[in-house]
Structure 1
Amino acid sequence: MKKIYITDLDHTFLRTDLSVSEFTRGTWNEMSAHSIMSIATARTYKKTMQFLKDIDINAPMILLDGALIATMDKKIIDTKFIGKEVGDVIIDEGAKFGIYPFILSLADSTLRETFSYSTLLNVHQKEVLKNYKNDDHHNRQSNLRAMNDNFKIVYFGDEVLLRELALHIEKIFGDGLKYILAPEAYVGCYFLTILHKDADKSHGIKSVSEYVGFDLKKLTVFGDNFNDIGMFELAGTSVAVANAQEGVKKAAKIVLPHTNDEDAVAHYLKSLKNG
């Protein structure tokens, strides 16, 4: 049976400047000839496709923190949505704290995405938007409302404020939703992501496993952040890059000597071939 490799993107497979080196591209694609290869990311389908140009992915991808499982040719395998009613309540509760979110939603069955946000933006959101200025799926609203099928709701701001907001929303919805509060490495603030309770990488791994039909013991996963630990717990081999969070390194079976900027994943895959 083929071995399976699934990697996180940001700060794991991608370099910090969001590029993929020729060494990583060549090593990965060579491995894909005889292995099952895919990714697990918080990124959208559209952004993932931009980053993975000329990268061979031969299994469904875990996207949007596990809220979407889809193939490169846009076949939807599984979705975990936040509905409009719940989304609108989250928006209104956040407004009481003086903060509005970004909302990633599914516009139609062709995987067209909608990126909704308020006209009222904080300094961190303005910085984030600089990376999306050329995208064509913006939905800027003076009275922000959720769509019917929302993948995730994301706040950017100061840690103390977002921690208070997370506790507040959790009091309303309890474990009916998933809450991820973590540092935002690119902008230098914190982000709070709110998702369907089953939207995570571990549920995504199970969906991909069922669809492809592979043995989790033959699965190797790569990651750097706490949202990767669910994958680590399921996989036969869990690998943390050198720049991973310390808690993630402790949860991994293998900690690599290389960082994402040093092509850590590719070096590991190359060592398997040469070993």
Structure 2
Amino acid sequence: MQNFYLTDLDKTFLRTDLSVSDFSRNVFNVAVSNGVKLSVATARSYTGVCKLLKGLHLKEPLIVLDGVMITSADGDIIYVSALDRDIGDEIIEIGKQQADIFPLLVGLDSNGVERFIYPKQRNRYQEELLRTYHNDRRLLDADPLKAMEKNLKIVYMESEEVTAQIELALKEKFKDEIEIKRSKDPYMDCWFMTVMHAKGDKAHALKKLEEIEGVNREHTTVFGDSHNDLGLFNAAGRKIAVANAIDELKAVADIVLPWTNDEDAVARFLKDELKG
């Protein structure tokens, strides 16, 4: 059975400046042209992936939005796990009650169009992130902030203490109805807490993708660096951490590479393994 390779993007395949080196691009494209099943699993949206990976030959389905969605290489939605409007509104209310802050929402409107909804009351971290999405047609301001019909990700950006406080309240309320990923943001001095459907994580998405690709767990290799890759590692046959990965991920990895993301760790491994 053919092997399937799946890599995280930020701080794993991408360099820290969010670029893809010529070396990594060439290794990726040669592998795909030779029939290797190679794709990505990322917290980013499909649109964000396409912008960052421009010039890469994407053929296999992609895991995006931390596993909430699987899309085809052309952007068609194959699989989605979303929080409904009622739960979304409750999550927003709990954040307001606990810390008087509002999240940003990533979801699908009634026409199935992807939207990023920002609250009118924003903190400095949200403002900074908003600037990176300048002129993005998916952006909408909302006052009052209300959940969408299908909420893919509900994201809080604040201190470690504040996000932990909200996380505790959400877990007490919803228990196993939701999935929460909380970690330090790799680019800003804050903590990122993402609330999703209980099956909206990389681990569940990987199992679904293995069905789609016709491969089993033993033939799946994944690459990662951070907390949101732990589930992915637990669900994969072979787990590979880059040198700059967090200690928790290295502890469960089968292989810890001697190179960082800025040294093209994933591409170096693939070139050696595939003899490209």
Whether TM-score is above 0.5 comes out as: yes
Structure 1 residue runs of 4 or more that deviate by more than 6 Å after TM superposition? none
TM-score relative to the length of structure 1: 0.96
Runs (5+) with no aligned partner, structure 1: none
Query: Structure 1, residues 248-271: CA drift from partner, whole Å, max 9, x if none?
Result: 011100001111111110010111
In the alignment, structure 1 residue 21 sits paired with structure 2 residue 21? yes
Partner of 2:56: 55
Partner of 2:121: 120
The amino acid that maps onto 2:105 is I
In the alignment, structure 1 residue 8 sits paired with structure 2 residue 16? no
Partner of 2:71: 70
Partner of 1:176: 177
Query: 1:273 Cα deviation (Å)?
Result: 3.0
The amino acid that maps onto 1:85 is D
Query: Structure 1, residues 28-60: CA drift from partner, whole Å, max 9, x if none?
Result: 111112211111001011111111112122221
Q: Aligned partners of 1:53 and 1:107: how far apart in 2?
A: 27
Check the 8 A contact 1:223/1:239 in 2, yes or no.
Answer: yes
Alignment of 1:160-171 (within 5 A): 160-171=161-172
Q: Aligned partners of 1:113 and 1:233: how far apart in 2?
A: 29
Q: Aligned partners of 2:152 and 2:138: how far apart in 1?
A: 14
Q: Aligned partners of 2:251 and 2:180: how far apart in 1?
A: 22
Larger mean CA deviation between 56-65 and 11-20 belongs to 56-65
Query: Structure 1, residues 8-27: CA drift from partner, whole Å, max 9, x if none?
Result: 01110111111101100000
Q: Aligned partners of 1:38 and 1:108: how far apart in 2?
A: 29
TM-score relative to the length of structure 2: 0.96
In the alignment, structure 1 residue 107 sits paired with structure 2 residue 109? yes
Partner of 2:91: 90
The amino acid that maps onto 1:83 is D
Report the 3-state secondary structure (helix = DSSP H, G, I; strand = E; otherwise coil) of the residue aligned with 2:101.
coil
Check the 8 A contact 2:110/2:149 in 1, yes or no.
Answer: no
Alignment of 1:232-251 (within 5 A): 232-251=233-252
Check the 8 A contact 1:240/1:255 in 2, yes or no.
Answer: yes
Number of residue pairs aligned between Structure 1 and Structure 2: 274
Q: Aligned partners of 2:110 and 2:143: how far apart in 1?
A: 23
Partner of 2:138: 137
Partner of 1:190: 191
Check the 8 A contact 1:4/1:219 in 2, yes or no.
Answer: yes
Structure 1 vs Structure 2: percent identity of aligned residues? 40
What's the RMSD between the two structures over aligned residues?
1.4
Q: Aligned partners of 2:9 and 2:120: how far apart in 1?
A: 30
Q: Aligned partners of 1:68 and 1:224: how far apart in 2?
A: 20
Check the 8 A contact 1:241/1:259 in 2, yes or no.
Answer: yes
